Structure 1
Amino acid sequence: MAHFDTLITGGKIIDGAGNPGYIGCIGILDGKIREIGPDLKGTADQVIDATGKVVAAGIIDIHTHYDAQLHWDPYATNSGWHGTTTIAVGNCGFGLAPCRPEHRDRYMQQMETTEQVPYNSLKSALSWDWETYPEWLEHLKGIPKGVNVLSMVPLNPLMIYVMGLEAAKTRSATPDEREEMKAELNRAMDMGAIGFGFSYQGNHNTHIDSDGEPMPTDIMDVEDLYAMADVLRERGEGVIQALVDTPGARFSEVGLEVARRSGRPVIHNVTLVNDYLPTYHEEMLELLEKAKAEGLEMYSMTLTMRGWNEFKPMDWDIWNIIPAFREFTFAGDQAAKVAKAADEDFRARLREAYSPVLLAPAGGPLETYKLSNANGVKPWCDHEGKTVQEIAEALGRDCITDLFMDIVVDTEAVSDFLLPDAMSADTAKVAQVLKHPLTLPGTSDGGAHVKFWSGGHFSTDMIMWMVRESGQMTLEEMHFKLSGLPAKVFNLTDRGTLKKDSAADIVIYDYEALGYRRFQYDIAHDLPGGEWRRICKPEGIEYVLVNGEVTFRNGTECTGAVPGQLIGVMGAEMDGRLATPLAMAAE
């Protein structure tokens, strides 16, 4: 009789490959699934009785910004709590390498203004013992990890590293600079980088540099971008994450050309369902069909979970998608922001620029902001629980922007607002998007926007909403979307599905009890530098295993195990390079 490190017994196995679920057992040894099936017998050092529970492949969360958070939170929570066992970093072209010493502070400022990772936390936690991207990968390999990590080369740091900050933001690369960027990308992928990520959004974007201007890739010469795509074609490996299409910045043709030039999988961002933009999701699905007809391998990340934002105007800057709002964001400290909100010239510019449709993809229009706590300030505390539109109607006010700025001024920018549904709750439309074979659920943005957003619950919500509540999808279909399909896109042949000899990345949960608290984040004061974040805890998730080791029990009870691996850096030298799954497949 076989002996295992861990034996999971009696659960309903949903393998992530789309096969019918069945009651069975899983035997784990040395981090791998050694035996799996309905009739498995054996002994083990640890037995987990999963009777009545779902045993599924761990979630693969491919759109995160945990690049920095991993340094103080090895488990990438909230994602790690909700069954995520593998994450991808380097998304949207933002990251921390390659980086010359003189640019370190600017990179941290950029991470704060683009992804709202607090500068104080970055300053307190990062060791900066790397400069090149291969050094960054060695650094990542060396830090404790409770999740597996896929690391993409972010193109903003790459451009700044080669061209310099000013040049990267103002001109095309020279032929020599372009060749150097290609060489740097090759070196990174030689050492295990999984591909590259970028954003191309022009000036209509919430991703703003610390100087209030667009980030380099958003306004880059597309020929510089296509040269990077050529590198992946030449190598025959890698993936590309491309933020090229949001409702206010439609650059999908750039994404298509990247797919043509690279010949590699392109993860297009973003497909969402929005009630203010009723045809947008259909246009994105048509784009995927166009790419497929052309023989291109393009998938689209969806932003379709039932998510919400809770924020104070002091911390909120997603409205930067409207340039006039950036005056408020970059006004300075709290007092300066309050002064800006009171300034009549600013208000006039805002009145002229504002349109509800412009803010629809950025959490929602001002009209839908719900005042949840005015901190006792009259008359606004009498209107708590109402939306800004409802307050305007109650007070007979016509100008939404002026009314909102009055609240900001009177409450000194620290009143609390709630955006109850950042996306559409139209079940049929969301199901239409998720059931498309070329969509990938996610866009958790884990690690980013921590003072007003927490999207790591996306997988929990997808199972609840699309499977248990609406019956639009089966558990088998949903778990294929959450693990099997992203593993296929990233060519992760030994994880993402539960099969013999695959990595034992597993989530065990009570299907009926699965949940989370809606419309109210908890506050956690657990960031370095005295900073805080909003968190969303799971319900009904009983175990999370990464490479065979339990990382969480009963939701958020951490075991302290850190079995995560940097996927793509295998540690064994092969012909002068470190072997990667992609490289080995090519060879």
Structure 2
Amino acid sequence: MNSYDLIIKNGTIIDGTQAPRFMADIGIKNGCIEKIGSLTGESALRTIDAEGKIVAPGVIDTHTHYDAQMFWDPYLTNSSWHGTTSVTVGNCGFGFMPCRESDRERYMKMMEATEQVPLNAMQSALPWTWESFPEWMAAVRAIPKGINVSAYLPLNSLMMYVMGVEAAKTRPATASERAEMRRLLHEAMDAGAVGFGFSFLQNYNSHKDFDGSPMPTDSMQIEEAYNLCRVLKERGEGVVQALMEIPGMPESNRAQCEELARLSGRPVLFNVVVALDVMPDFHRDTLAWLDEVRAKQLPIYAQALCCRIWVQSSAEDFTVWDAHPLFAAFTAADREGKIAMASDPDYRSKVREWYQPEKFYAGGGPLENWVITDACGSSYAKYEGQTIAAIAEQHSACVTDTFWDMVVATEAKLGFKNPPSLSVDPVKVTELLSHPQVIPGTSDGGAHVKISVSGHYQTDFIDWLVREQNMMSLEQMHYKSSYLPARLLGFEKRGALLEGYAADIMVYDFEKINYNQERYDRVEDLPGGDWRWVVYAEGIDNVIVNGEVIFTSNGACTGAHPGRMLNCSGAMLEQIDDKAA
């Protein structure tokens, strides 16, 4: 009789707690780590020889938008290829629950506008067998999952469900509406929610509704969030996810964030902190504030977006300019409309007068830095590989006019890539990630699928900050990416390689872990044959979820579906037979 379901032998274990690495075997049974030590002579249904490899806890990504993708991709790629074993959806207040039948199309258009999830994919793949949060949970518990999923109750959805769309965007909730929202949060938490999520950026959020108006939570009174904090305080469980600050905002929402922590008594995941070369003190100011709130004993943690990502898109597909009214009109137009606008002297003149490079850091970076990747055989083909600024200089023209000329010449199919607008200074990024109240992530996995990819952040950090720069240790990195997020979410016995903990594990070759840093790869695997960008992992030998291997070397999928829905304690919710759901 086999002693274990799986044994990982001879590996170098980074357990996630920041304890020094050590050599040992790991014995796994019934989805949990049963023994760590010498297992010589013990038998198992399957054995992985990890000699010369790192064995570490799977990544816990608390900020994704896989709300739709989970219905057609049980492995939630790109994230799982790179060692992510648990994700949280419902971030920034966006999601599909609760939702009345009459609002389904609006919710999907909202997700397309804010997170660039293709509408046709959602229309063809979402079963819409739910209205309430518990009914949504039942639907997700019934679908196969390669990795674990937890969910916030999205506040935009909640406000629109209780108040109606127009009221949610134009007035405060009434006392009775706030009581109903509290009741529905209790209901969601009972069904397995891990808290609630929202954004609160007023008019500064690039997340706009499909009609160009702000989302409900961006224009709401902050009391709507305070109202729900009292539910978490009463229950003594749950997390608040709050997108409350982006670079360049003239107003601070930090006092409101502190009040969220006071009223809830629970961890608040504050978004977003980034390192920028053009604003070198932005992240340092945030870190100083985190020191202040720690002195006040407020459990506020910032989520960092700081891996080396870039934008790779085309004039036809790019939508991140929605934060800028003049460019928002361009991105909202169809291809023929884009060509017409790019040809219009009045429109070009308005853009020319308005445009300043610093205004574009929230829109993928200044136009000057964009590199042309595909001129579609036009007269600009000879400039491929050059920046728009360099091309403009050769034509003695301004940057915006040069861009519009290329849009017209390529019939709005112009392909481009920008260098990272985030800092790639390892000193700044390490300074940010090393702060005790900062966690990495903000991958937005499942979103922006034709624009950028960042589900590979753990691979990037190991390759860049640990191996190449030697500025962080593997012990630090896996603590930040696994154990600390688990503690903040309240997940018991997850996020570390300890006896009795869930066997969520990645096994990789430290010398080979990497990814293609030159370009994203295009795959046509969305519903209906639509396409997206992906980043494949290199050097990751095994990804294990709840004791079962889901990927082997080079991303080969085993077909196993061990993932489960997790509640706010990290407990697995029972899988529901899809025929009974």
- Category of TM-score, reference length = shorter chain: over 0.9
Please list every run of 5 or more consecutive structure 2 residues that lacks an aligned counterpart in the other structure.
575-581
- Cα deviation for residue 579 of structure 1 reads 8.5
Tell me how far apart the structure 2 counterparts of residues 148 and 536 of structure 1 sit (CA, whole Å).
21
Contact 1:270/1:302 (CA < 8 Å) preserved in 2? yes
Structure 1: which amino acid aligns with 2:357?
P
- Cα deviation for residue 251 of structure 1 reads 2.5
Structure-2 change in CA distance of 1:5 and 1:243 (3 Å): same
Contact 2:489/2:568 (CA < 8 Å) preserved in 1? no
The one of 301, 314, 317 aligned to 2:316: 314
For residues 329-367 of structure 1, the C-alpha deviation after alignment (integer angstroms, 9 at most, x for no partner) is: 222x21112212222332233233322112224321111
Contact 1:82/1:555 (CA < 8 Å) preserved in 2? no
Tell me how far apart the structure 1 counterparts of residues 533 and 486 of structure 2 sit (CA, whole Å).
29
Tell me how far apart the structure 2 counterparts of residues 454 and 29 of structure 1 sit (CA, whole Å).
35
Contact 1:155/1:196 (CA < 8 Å) preserved in 2? yes
Partner in structure 2 of residue 300 of structure 1:
302
Tell me how far apart the structure 1 counterparts of residues 344 and 234 of structure 2 sit (CA, whole Å).
55
Contact 1:23/1:38 (CA < 8 Å) preserved in 2? no
Partner in structure 1 of residue 153 of structure 2:
153
SS of match in other structure, 1:299:
strand
Tell me how far apart the structure 1 counterparts of residues 503 and 45 of structure 2 sit (CA, whole Å).
16
- Map 1:310-389 onto structure 2 (within 5 A): 310-331=312-333, 333-378=334-379, 380-389=380-389
Q: How many residues align?
A: 572
- Cα deviation for residue 29 of structure 1 reads 0.6
Tell me how far apart the structure 2 counterparts of residues 285 and 433 of structure 1 sit (CA, whole Å).
8
Partner in structure 2 of residue 575 of structure 1:
none
* Larger CA deviation: 322-331 vs 178-187: 322-331
Q: Percent of aligned positions with the same letter in both sequences?
A: 49
Tell me how far apart the structure 1 counterparts of residues 217 and 353 of structure 2 sit (CA, whole Å).
29
2:504 aligned with 1:505: yes
Tell me how far apart the structure 2 counterparts of residues 411 and 173 of structure 1 sit (CA, whole Å).
49
Tell me how far apart the structure 2 counterparts of residues 213 and 346 of structure 1 sit (CA, whole Å).
22
Structure 2: which amino acid aligns with 1:368?
N
- Map 1:24-173 onto structure 2 (within 5 A): 24-38=24-38, 41-173=41-173
Tell me how far apart the structure 2 counterparts of residues 353 and 263 of structure 1 sit (CA, whole Å).
45
Partner in structure 2 of residue 12 of structure 1:
12
- Cα deviation for residue 279 of structure 1 reads 1.2
For residues 161-213 of structure 1, the C-alpha deviation after alignment (integer angstroms, 9 at most, x for no partner) is: 00011111111111111111111111101111000110111112211101011
Structure 2: which amino acid aligns with 1:556?
G
Contact 2:195/2:568 (CA < 8 Å) preserved in 1? no
Structure 2: which amino acid aligns with 1:266?
V
Structure 2: which amino acid aligns with 1:560?
G
- Cα deviation for residue 40 of structure 1 reads 6.0
Tell me how far apart the structure 2 counterparts of residues 426 and 335 of structure 1 sit (CA, whole Å).
41
Tell me how far apart the structure 1 counterparts of residues 106 and 400 of structure 2 sit (CA, whole Å).
32
Contact 2:14/2:22 (CA < 8 Å) preserved in 1? yes
Tell me how far apart the structure 2 counterparts of residues 253 and 392 of structure 1 sit (CA, whole Å).
44
- Cα deviation for residue 37 of structure 1 reads 2.1
Please list every run of 5 or more consecutive structure 1 residues that lacks an aligned counterpart in the other structure.
573-577, 581-587
- Cα deviation for residue 159 of structure 1 reads 0.5
- Cα deviation for residue 116 of structure 1 reads 0.4
Partner in structure 1 of residue 270 of structure 2:
268
* Larger CA deviation: 247-256 vs 287-296: 247-256
* Larger CA deviation: 253-262 vs 73-82: 253-262
Partner in structure 2 of residue 436 of structure 1:
435
2:554 aligned with 1:555: yes
Contact 1:243/1:268 (CA < 8 Å) preserved in 2? yes
SS of match in other structure, 1:6:
strand
SS of match in other structure, 1:227:
helix
The one of 288, 291, 296 aligned to 1:289: 291
Q: What is the TM-score normalised by the length of structure 2?
A: 0.96
What RMSD in Å do the two structures reach over aligned CA positions?
1.7
Q: What is the TM-score normalised by the length of structure 1?
A: 0.95
Tell me how far apart the structure 1 counterparts of residues 268 and 490 of structure 2 sit (CA, whole Å).
13
SS of match in other structure, 1:88:
strand
- Map 1:391-470 onto structure 2 (within 5 A): 391-397=391-397, 399-470=398-469
2:228 aligned with 1:228: yes
SS of match in other structure, 1:542:
strand
Contact 2:200/2:243 (CA < 8 Å) preserved in 1? yes
Contact 1:14/1:20 (CA < 8 Å) preserved in 2? yes
Tell me how far apart the structure 1 counterparts of residues 40 and 152 of structure 2 sit (CA, whole Å).
39
Tell me how far apart the structure 2 counterparts of residues 353 and 523 of structure 1 sit (CA, whole Å).
34
Structure-2 change in CA distance of 1:504 and 1:571 (3 Å): closer
